[in-house]
């Protein structure tokens, strides 16, 4: 997974902000597609019918020019999740606070098909990435990635992944069902280094993923 440097031509990446193209609901659905959620999962998360989800997707495809969900997820991550700024707005004397557009540097891939998100892309806006479960009582995201509220084995704030000099580490945030690396539970609050190919489980009800870099 590569980074896109600011020095590259903007037009090469077709950086037209999703905010100028899509409605608020279409942005929500695009984000859930980028998380790897399917039509049924999205309909449950947003409390709308599967037919309504499909209608929104047709509109999104037409507005953005993508041909399928894979292209939509990639386009969303580059254009919206990364809050892409108009490159032409910077003069030679101005330097942005970042030197690249950060792509997902790692991801979790689901081990089996059990109606959970297939992919969790790790997009580090700072140096940490939190994983949890959507809380309908609060009604807004508290973590960088949230499982559907029906995924009871995952706590509201379950774990945090940090990008460190030697690689990546995961810490359990005192979750109810625990966080496991290669079958071994992590003591709450203890940092555990993870590497490419490690199996990470959030709870004990099937949220089993492979860590990939």
The conformational region for residue 94 under phi > 0 = left, psi -120 to 50 = alpha, else beta, is beta
Has residue 54 got a pLDDT over 70?
yes
Please tell me which residue, 90 or 63, carries the higher pLDDT value. 63
Do 73 and 171 reside in the same domain of the chain?
no
CA distance from start to end of the chain: 8
Do 203 and 156 reside in the same domain of the chain?
yes
Do 66 and 162 reside in the same domain of the chain?
no
Do 76 and 112 reside in the same domain of the chain?
no
User: pLDDT value at position 96?
Assistant: 41
User: pLDDT value at position 140?
Assistant: 72
Has residue 163 got a pLDDT over 90?
no
Do 108 and 80 reside in the same domain of the chain?
no
pLDDT bin (cut points 50, 70, 90) of residue 104 is low
User: How much is the mean pLDDT over the chain?
Assistant: 78
Residue 94 falls within a domain, yes or no?
Answer: no
Please tell me which residue, 87 or 184, carries the higher pLDDT value. 184
User: pLDDT value at position 21?
Assistant: 82
Do 30 and 114 reside in the same domain of the chain?
no
User: pLDDT value at position 157?
Assistant: 92
User: pLDDT value at position 139?
Assistant: 66
Q: Is 24 exposed, middle or buried (0-12, 13-18, 19+ CB in 10 A)?
A: exposed
CB atoms within 10 A of CB 31: 18
pLDDT bin (cut points 50, 70, 90) of residue 130 is very high
Quote the DSSP letter at residue 171.
E
Question: What's the Cα-to-Cα distance from 189 to each of 87, 105, 159, 192, rounded to whole Å?
Answer: 40, 24, 9, 9
Q: For residue 198, what are the domain limits?
A: 104-212
CB 206 within 8 A of CB 116: yes
Do 109 and 193 reside in the same domain of the chain?
yes
**Cα diameter, the chain:** 53
Do 13 and 82 reside in the same domain of the chain?
yes
Do 62 and 126 reside in the same domain of the chain?
no
Do 75 and 142 reside in the same domain of the chain?
no
Mean pLDDT throughout 42-70? 88
Do 116 and 195 reside in the same domain of the chain?
yes
Task: Give the span between the Cα atoms of 24 and 81, in whole angstroms.
Answer: 14
CATH assignment at residue 26: 1.10.10.10
Do 118 and 59 reside in the same domain of the chain?
no
Residue 96 falls within a domain, yes or no?
Answer: no
**CA 89 from centroid of its chain's CA atoms:** 28
Q: How many domains does the chain have?
A: 2
Q: What percent of the chain has pLDDT over 90?
A: 30
């Amino acid at each position: 997974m590569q980074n896109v440097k600011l020095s590259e031509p903007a037009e090469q990446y077709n950086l037209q902000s999703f905010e100028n193209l899509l409605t608020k609901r279409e942005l929500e659905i695009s984000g859930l597609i980028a998380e790897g959620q399917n039509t049924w999962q999205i309909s449950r998360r947003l409390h709308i019918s599967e037919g309504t989800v499909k209608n929104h997707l047709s509109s999104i495809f037409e507005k953005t020019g993508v041909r399928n969900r894979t292209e939509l997820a990639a386009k969303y991550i580059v254009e919206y999740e990364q809050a892409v700024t108009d490159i032409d707005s910077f003069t030679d004397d101005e330097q942005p606070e970042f030197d690249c557009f950060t792509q997902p540097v790692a991801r979790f891939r689901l081990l089996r098909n059990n109606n959970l998100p297939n992919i969790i892309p790790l997009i580090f806006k700072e140096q940490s990435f939190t994983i949890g479960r959507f809380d309908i009582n609060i009604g807004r995201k508290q973590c960088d990635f949230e499982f559907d509220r029906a995924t009871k084995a995952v706590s509201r704030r379950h774990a945090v992944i940090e990008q460190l000099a030697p690689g990546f580490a995961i810490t359990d945030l005192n979750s109810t069902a625990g966080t496991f690396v290669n079958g071994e539970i992590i003591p709450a609050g203890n940092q555990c280094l993870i590497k490419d190919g490690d199996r990470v489980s959030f709870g004990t009800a099937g949220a089993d993923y492979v860590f990939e870099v």
